[in-house]
Structure 1
Amino acid sequence: MALRDGDRDELVRLTRSTAVRAGLALRARIVLAAARGEANEHIAQSVGVSKVTVLKWRSRYSRHGLAGLADEARSGRPRIVDHREVVAATLRPPPKKYGVTHWSSRLLGRHLGIGNKTVATAWREYGVQPWRVETFKFSTDPELVAKVTDVVGLYLAPPQNAIVLCVDEKSQIQALDRTAPMLPMQPGLPERRTHDYKRHGTSTLFAALEIATGKVTAACKPRHRHQEFLAFLKQVARAYPDVALHLVMDNYAAHKRIEIRDWLAANPRVHVHFTPTSGSWLNLVEVWFGIIERQAIHRGSFGSVKDLNAKIRAFIDGWNDRCHPFVWTKTADEILKKANRQPTSNTDH
């Protein structure tokens, strides 16, 4: 079968696109195979349809070209439900008589007197997902702009002959021990564990992440008071002697105690950069805390706090052998504009 001028490239694009409907991509494959001279039976077998289907789309293309591969208008009664009205009803809170916080497709369908599939179709068309919820936290720090600019500036352009460390503590790490041994992963079966567990106490992990290399200096302590934090700062200073240190940390009260401020004043090579209030996500060590949580803590089973601490230290040793730099990509302006706190100017209008 001969292709019309310019159609081959478009047909190939349809077969490779992830945005077009699967049916349209299949029809394009049928036409391309026919153009290569393949037999109808072979085409049907290779694309997984009947020979009748192959003949249908070959014929449609021969008569109408690429337009013939589109769906024809369907017979039957036209749609009478306005999807905009369905979405408008979805965006209004459910009546108190239902006692629910958000709509389900079945409940809204019953409320509007339509089928739940119609509701689901309207939701897909407008990208409405009532079952989803996300959280956010807006910083009210009066120094938000200055702090974001300061911390992000450290990440994007760190000072020469200095080391940038992200410092924080992960508190209340529970030493949980399952009531029965873990069942290992097998082909066709994931790793399994009991739902119940025994508590054996908690530990606090203090960590300093060197963003240029990903190396972590850490300590496990029973509490997270300013005394433990000061001891950890001294440990970090010993780990990086005779070099300027820039520490990024949040506004936790223990980080601002007079004892901490006195020690910093006595050690002028250590500079502190505070993240904004409710902006601890700017601290890259939080990313690393997520890594250790997923890879070593969440699925672990610990018979004691001592066992928990030993396994945390083992993970850190392994991590430092394979660590990698932590690269920040967003500029301060991009972050502030997203937070809707960037001052506007005439050029922004």
Structure 2
Amino acid sequence: MARTAQSLLLTSKNKQELEFLIKNSSNTRLKNRFNIILLASQNHSNIVISKKLNISPVQVGKWRRRYIKFGVEGLKDRDRDGRPMIYNVQQRDLIVRNLLDLLLDDKELSIRKAAKILKINFMLLFRILKEIGLNIKDVDGWLRQRGSDFIPKQVEVVALYINPPENALVLKVGYDKKESLSKGDNSMGLKFAKANSLLAKFMFDSKKRKKPFIKKHIDQNFVGFIKQVQKKYGEKCEYRLITENLSVHLNEDLKNWQKEFSQNKINLSVLHSFWLQQVEIWLSVLADQSQDRVIFKTSTEYSLQIMNYVNEYTESGRSFSWISR
């Protein structure tokens, strides 16, 4: 005698959540699982559901039981142990850095030849490069950093993103004169001012526009900018600035400022390594791919859309690798 499927009842909130996930998910397998639960809640048997979705009744029963026990989280793929890594993350990073150094001296270097020089398995090196999406024939020169302090600075900057100070004021200091504030959607009533540099854009408030006073990026202007920020937000705040390792950021006035206010710190990233700000890059990707041309009626819908995208990206996303085009 065939087993009777477990009954499944959905609240209106559960049903809305599943319908929203079906509409906004690009993962076919997850869509099928969500549909299984909706059909099961309508008292359809596993056999009927399997015919409607063209999958086996065994699979239908599996996801029905998983949802009853774990909810929506139970419909997602479980983490698998897999084969242990031959090299840990730090060792793989060192392998890639050494490979990039080799490319400085030999632009025609092949993966097979590089593996022989680095004394590692050819297929292992091939897999490491494939995982990070790096093609050694297209590596851009500025990414090859010889400086011994590159990795410590990289770790310091990334750690600041992962574990930021409480109530932190985050300032992205840049100097592209062509960049300007986008007027876009101004539903929040923001005011904008044109500026000759990104430093100057800070020099106005929401109540009254002020003409930017910074026209050149020299050390005196940079120190003046820092002091203006401190004046506006108070001397007791903790300030963290992430900026490039330029001479204007290493002057005596700035060093004295750091000594006077010991709680403040300037993280100097290696020159031409603003690609370390990958958190900002990822947030822009999230906005473009998950919120473009979508209208959210409630904050719940907005939160579900973001979390759904984050969960999908966790499974399918790859780390950023900058290559020339």
In our comparison, the structure showing a higher alpha carbon Rg is 1
Could you state the TM-score of these two structures normalised by the residue count of structure 2?
0.35
Q: TM-score, normalised by structure 1?
A: 0.33
Structure with greater helix percent: 2
